[in-house]
Structure 1
Amino acid sequence: MTEPITYTVTFEEGGWTARDHSKRVRGVAVASNLTQLERELEEAHEWAWPENPPPVNFVLDLPGELTAKVEAWRDERRLAELHAARSLRMGEEVVAELTARWSEPDAARITGLSKQRVHQLKKSYQSKSKADA
């Protein structure tokens, strides 16, 4: 795979501007939004390197402390996703143990979940257990 070309992207004079500091691409690309900018650069790469176009990579140069805030939020979002996945696994296991002893309505009452959610978690655990076997 071809090494990606990394563009530094800034918002200048009402539009997004991309510059390649590696000098593999000369000039700049300008667009009104980031999606359009990425699309235009990908098309330019396909035209310039028809056999194996390099991927487009953006480094956003945002004003002031926005970069740090965006990165902090992304880190928090990743942690939340990890916690959500772990919570789901634990929920499936707990519900499986509870429903092995008591009814789904009782398991719902114990966990504070709806009966429907308890049923979903139970089925999810069972299907994963069958797949692992």
Structure 2
Amino acid sequence: MRGIITYVVTYENGRWVSRCPSGEVEGVGVASSLSQLERDLSEIHAWAWPENTPAVEFTFDLPEEVAGVVAAYHRQKELAETHARRAAELAVEAAKTLTSHWSEPDTARLMGLSKQRVHQLKVSV
């Protein structure tokens, strides 16, 4: 077996508990931390499927007030990453455009960057 096995994880009685709703792994996993739970499940996968060990993936079943905060964080993080990628693309475009008109030092001043960074942007592919 290769691929990913997804576990639904909850926090119960001071412990993280995993269940495999698809049935590839029976029973529940219990650990005091998520990293320990992931290590334990990875070891079970390696033992059960030594040739094609599937990865571990978690889906969290959290209380509504916590789940909302986590979901909002993930949405904002994704937006920030999208904006950062676009800003990086625009930095290259701006550096190449501006240096076709002015020197790298003047372009650096206009962009609020170092001369070295403008040069890196200008020569990037």
Task: Give the Cα separation in 1 of the matches to 2:46 and 2:90.
Answer: 46
| Structure 1: runs of 5 or more not aligned | 129-133
Tell me by how many angstroms 1:16 deviates: 0.7
Give the equivalent residue in structure 1 for 2:121. Answer: 124
Give the equivalent residue in structure 2 for 1:14. Answer: 14
Alignment of 1:1-133 (within 5 A): 2-111=2-111, 113-114=112-113, 116=114, 118-128=115-125
Task: Give the Cα separation in 2 of the matches to 1:64 and 1:103.
Answer: 55
Task: Give the Cα separation in 1 of the matches to 2:96 and 2:44.
Answer: 54
Alpha-carbon spacing, 1:104–1:121, altered in 2? closer, same or farther (3 Å): closer
Task: Give the Cα separation in 2 of the matches to 1:23 and 1:88.
Answer: 44
| Structure 2: runs of 5 or more not aligned | none
Tell me by how many angstroms 1:72 deviates: 2.3
Give me the CA root mean square deviation. 1.9
- The TM-score normalised by the length of structure 2 is 0.85
Question: 1:101 aligns to what SS in structure 2?
Answer: coil
**Count of aligned residue pairs for this structure pair:** 125
Alpha-carbon spacing, 1:88–1:66, altered in 2? closer, same or farther (3 Å): same
Task: Give the Cα separation in 2 of the matches to 1:57 and 1:51.
Answer: 19
Task: Give the Cα separation in 2 of the matches to 1:32 and 1:55.
Answer: 21
Matched-pair contact (CA < 8 Å) for 2:31–2:37: yes
Task: Give the Cα separation in 2 of the matches to 1:31 and 1:40.
Answer: 8
Tell me by how many angstroms 1:3 deviates: 4.5
Question: 1:65 aligns to what SS in structure 2?
Answer: helix
* Percent identity over paired residues: 46
Task: Give the Cα separation in 1 of the matches to 2:109 and 2:50.
Answer: 61
Amino acid at match of 1:87: A
Task: Give the Cα separation in 2 of the matches to 1:125 and 1:110.
Answer: 14
Amino acid at match of 1:40: D
